Structure 1
Amino acid sequence: MTWAMVLLGGAVGAVARFGVNWLVVRGSRPSPWATFTVNVVGSLLLGLLAGVGTALPGWVGTLVGTGFCGALTTYSTFGYETVRLAGTGPVGRGWALLNIVATLAVGLGVAALGWQLGRSF
């Protein structure tokens, strides 16, 4: 049953990631904004799940945490887009550094916020 929860959550998460990418970058040149968006949303959601903890049935963590958030968020695309930005010259290296700092700071911040919100339930 665990694999079915991961599969179902992953299918929904992958479609959600595609949708966010389409909404954020449609008609514009490639940018890391869609990846930043899904990573921040996923961090918030995982923080919330961690904060709620055992108040939820275990299958919810498998479905939402492992399946949905696992397919929604992406470290590999974050890495690729950051390297691609850095390779575009001095301005691109600045954007790459900003992408790293913002992704880590905002991701950790919203995960902590989600955890605090989850604990309040």
Structure 2
Amino acid sequence: MKQLLLVFLGGGFGSMLRYLISRIFNDYFQYFFLGTFLVNVLGSLLIGLILGLSLKGDYLNQNQILILATGFCGGFTTFSAFAFEKHSLLTSGELFHFSLYTLSSIVIGIFAIALGLWLAKLL
């Protein structure tokens, strides 16, 4: 039961922060959802760092991993909004922006995870 509560609390904080960032940044560009992009890249960096630290040694215990990686990062990042935004770009005929946003989100997200893992090794 304690583990479920940790995931719930972390997810709640992550979701609230994602909402605030999306509200602030999604209106900057017409065809690029900057808020969603930022939370997904930052979430990728954070989960890489968190899981990298957990693999490195005794930096984080199982409860800390649950609240931070599963809870916070799970609530903070958003695949459903990412998919909806892609759909809206496709249905409006914005193939270039669809491709740019999709590729940059995936490539930079993977790079951010690698960067987080690398940073964890340095700590």
Whether TM-score is above 0.5 comes out as yes
In structure 1, the partner of 2:14 is 13
Residue 37 of structure 1 pairs with residue 38 of structure 2: yes
Is residue 46–residue 116 contact of structure 2 (8 Å, CA) maintained in 1? yes
Letter in 2 for 1:80: F
What amino acid is the match of 1:37? L
Is this contact kept in 1: 2:39–2:76, CA < 8 A?
Answer: yes
| CA spacing shift, 1:63–1:111, aligned 2, 3 Å | same
Matching residue's letter, 2:104 = A
CA-based RMSD: 1.7
> What is the number of residues matched between the two proteins?
119
CA distance in 2, matches of 1:110, 1:116: 10
Q: TM-score scaled by structure 1?
A: 0.91
Taking the aligned partners of 1:29 and 1:113, their CA distance within structure 2 comes to 29
Distance 1:97 1:27, change over 3 A: closer
Task: Please tell me whether residue 120 in structure 1 is matched to residue 122 in structure 2.
Answer: yes
What SS does the corresponding residue of 2:35 show, helix, strand or coil?
A: helix
CA contact (8 A) 2:32 2:97 kept: no
Task: Output the CA distance in 1 between the equivalents of 2:120 and 2:20.
Answer: 26
Cα distance in 1 for partners of 2:28, 2:100 equals 23
Once the two structures are TM-superposed, the CA of residue 25 in structure 1 deviates from its matched residue by: 2.8
